[in-house]
Amino acid sequence: MPNFAPATGSQISTVEIASQVTIDAAVASSQAAQPAWAALSGAERGRILTRAAVLIREYNAELSVLESVDAGIPVSETEFVQVLGGADSFEYFGGLASNACVTGQMMDTPHAGGDADSFCYTRREPLGVCAGIGAWNYPVLVMSWKVAPALACGNTFIYKPSECTPLTALKIAEILKEAGLPDGVFNVVVGDRTTGPMLSSHNEVKKLSFTGSTETGIRIVKDAADTLKKVTMELGGKSPLLVFEDADIDNAVAAAMMSNWYTQGEICSNATRVFVHKSIKGEFTKKLVARTKQLVIGDPLDPNTHVGAMIMPPDNKSGHLDRVVGFIERAKQDPDNKLILGGNTHTIEAGKVDGRGGVGNEGCYVEPTIFECSNDNSELVKEEVFGPVMSLLEFEDEDDAVKRANDTKWGLGAGVMTNNLARAHRIAKKFQSGNVWINNYNLTPSEMPFGGYGMSGYGRECGTYAIDSWTQIKNVYVEMGDVDSSCYPK
């Protein structure tokens, strides 16, 4: 299977598509390694994961370049956010591996019917062989969010990276080996859309975590249901950002930019519906346009680049670009939308870069694009574009703004910009979303649980809540007295 660089359209590698035989071999390897890995103390597992975090930081430069070439993401993002964020995840769960939230708890049971000194305790036990299917927009980070907590809990893991971005997963596997991870504890299988179902339907895979589109997530849940395996789904979104009249406008503009232009808009939690109070909409829009015009679109490996290239699938090099452009062109024809910035693609002479251009005649580049929208039911406002396209909307009433913000089948992210903290907390409570940001957007530290409501999926990654996804609870009741059988004749 060919692997293409989104910045140039050139082939950068060829990867093998895993067959059922390969999947079965990976599962067998993981099964063989799991008992010994689970038998280690949490502290012993944690030391290996912490060592992996150190090594990921040491390999940051190499991993960042791989990620930028493979995914088209600016190296300024991969080097300082994505790779380091992955290291943070291994470090966090390495430290958590021996914590009580992983090892269980003890409870007195004075009213259970037995002796007053009787008690019970819980054991958090690993599930066994687990699997993950990753996304192409945050390859290292998405993988780390799944692999680190699973390994910390004593599971073994099989990871399938996106067919669009397979390279960094293979490098992370090498790093984990160098960190001391035993053979078979972590396996990578590379493949296309036929490979994932082999994992989601495999009888010996006990848990699967998926990050990707809602449509694919639904198919995976159906596959997993036949074997009753646990699943975590982190899916799509069409998130809102509410900017109130008392907000710091410069901060609000920064939040809107971070939630739309980062990673070329290819982020599931992005706030692509920006609702701005009528009284400040003019000033907000002016500042937003002025700052966005300064962004450099170009070579992802250039540290001065702000907006890189759109992803390039191996089976249809312009497929995602065409999809994003399709939304833009239809929005231009919709009288409820007014284009105020961008709306174009860029391909210029190979090897040349300018402030508004791309690199290579076949590179996939889209300008950051802003539409003023007057109809919440238009396609652009309703559907997930997954590109650098912002819908700018106006509101006057708080309750109406929250109602409009919640009018979506998704619920992955939501944000509010205001200096009134009472209002901020009131709105945070009303948002139908798994993640809410107040006076910022899209920050996802390892300590913070991340997941969605509705069609954005279920289950949580990161934070102590992630432990629930990778363990099963065993309760043990300990009787300290005699068995009470008075209900039966002696």
Return d(Cα 116, Cα 478) in angstroms, integer: 11
Residue (of 48, 19, 53) closest to 33 by Cα position: 48
The catalytic residue among 67, 77, 91, 234 is 234
Return d(Cα 381, Cα 262) in angstroms, integer: 19
CB-neighbour burial class of residue 438 (10 A; exposed 0-12, middle 13-18, buried 19+) = middle
- Residue 166: what are its φ and ψ, rounded to 5°? -90, -10
> Are 62 and 302 spatial neighbours (Cβ–Cβ below 8 Å)?
no
Encoded tokens for 408: 């979506």
Three-class DSSP category at 432? coil
Bridge-partner residues for 345, per DSSP? 366
Return d(Cα 151, Cα 439) in angstroms, integer: 34
Return d(Cα 419, Cα 430) in angstroms, integer: 18
Residue 72 neighbours by CB under 8 Å, 6+ apart? 5, 6, 7, 264, 300, 308, 309, 310, 311, 312, 364
Amino acid of residue 470: W
> Where are any strands of DSSP class E within 301-368?
337-341
Question: Which residues in 239-270 are b (16+ Cβ under 10 Å) and which e?
Answer: bbbbbbbebebeebbbbbbbbbbbbbbbbbbb
* CA dihedral for 267, 298, 55, 166, sign (positive or negative): positive
> Where are any strands of DSSP class E within 224-310?
230-234, 240-243, 273-277
Bridge-partner residues for 411, per DSSP? 453
Active site residue 16: no
Residues forming the active site: 234
